[in-house]
């Protein structure tokens, strides 16, 4: 399948309108590299009030998303190729660049379920292959996290970014952060571009960039640097 498809289950379809005008992401949709469809559970509600939430059994604060509209919306989505179902929830595993890479390579379709209110009826979780969180905090709904996933996957699809080599050395592609970048002018407010970047010695430049990646990761993300060390040691033993 040439076109990657996103199907999003969300109570707020209008939240995703910005994707069509979002730089290279918007152009990817316009060029049919990817497409997305929004499925509103309210359209599948069983009563005339289009009710999608209810009070939790056992009492408690807030309203819970009912299972019937979510399941009905899910069942209406056609299957395209190898699909992955992801639920956006603060209880999910943290999102990593490797997840975006995996989804963009291994799948043709992603179904993303966005929560709202106090949370999901637990039975809705049975629909998901993975539960994903974008951080240890809580938002009003899963729409923004869903757009982050769509953005992150689409930019990795062939044809979205003009030069695919630019994706190879960016932050988190191999646990290390990206090296510093500079452009003209070479002098600005007392700050100078490192002379090695203006030397024309591509071998030395490549070495400098690799050293800077390790140094920056060690300083800013020691957790990632430790993971990178462990992964490097493992590869040496293979």
Tens digits of residue pLDDT in 134-149: 999 999 999 999 999 9
Nearest to 42 by CA among 34, 30, 52: 52
Structural domains present in the chain: 4-154 (3.40.1280.10), 169-237 (1.10.1270.20)
Among 69, 71, 74, 55, residue whose Cα is nearest residue 117: 55
Number of Cβ atoms within 10 Å of the Cβ of 179:
19
The closest of 89, 9, 5, 79 to 42, measured between CA atoms, is: 9
Global pTM?
A: 0.88
pLDDT at 60: 87
């Amino acid at each position: 399948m040439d076109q990657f498809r996103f199907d999003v289950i969300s109570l707020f379809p209008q939240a995703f309108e910005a994707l069509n005008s979002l730089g290279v992401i918007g152009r990817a949709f316009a060029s049919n590299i990817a497409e997305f469809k929004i499925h509103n559970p309210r359209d599948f509600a069983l009563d005339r009030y289009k009710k999608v939430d209810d009070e939790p059994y056992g009492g408690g604060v807030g309203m819970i998303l009912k299972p019937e509209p979510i399941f009905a919306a899910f069942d209406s989505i056609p299957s395209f190729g190898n699909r992955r179902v992801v639920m956006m929830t603060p209880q999910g595993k943290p999102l990593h660049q490797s997840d975006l890479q995996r989804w963009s390579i291994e799948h043709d379709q992603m179904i993303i379920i966005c929560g709202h209110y106090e949370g999901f009826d637990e039975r809705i979780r049975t629909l998901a292959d993975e539960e994903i969180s974008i951080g240890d905090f809580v938002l009003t709904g899963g729409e923004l996290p869903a757009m982050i996933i769509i953005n992150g996957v689409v930019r990795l699809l062939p044809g979205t970014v003009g030069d695919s080599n630019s994706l190879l050395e960016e932050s988190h592609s191999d646990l290390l952060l990206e090296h510093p970048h500079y452009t003209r002018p070479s002098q600005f407010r007392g700050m100078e571009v490192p002379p090695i970047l203006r030397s024309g010695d591509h071998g030395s430049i490549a070495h400098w960039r690799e050293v800077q990646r390790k140094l920056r990761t060690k300083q800013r993300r020691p957790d990632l640097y430790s993971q990178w060390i462990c992964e490097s040691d493992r590869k040496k033993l293979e």
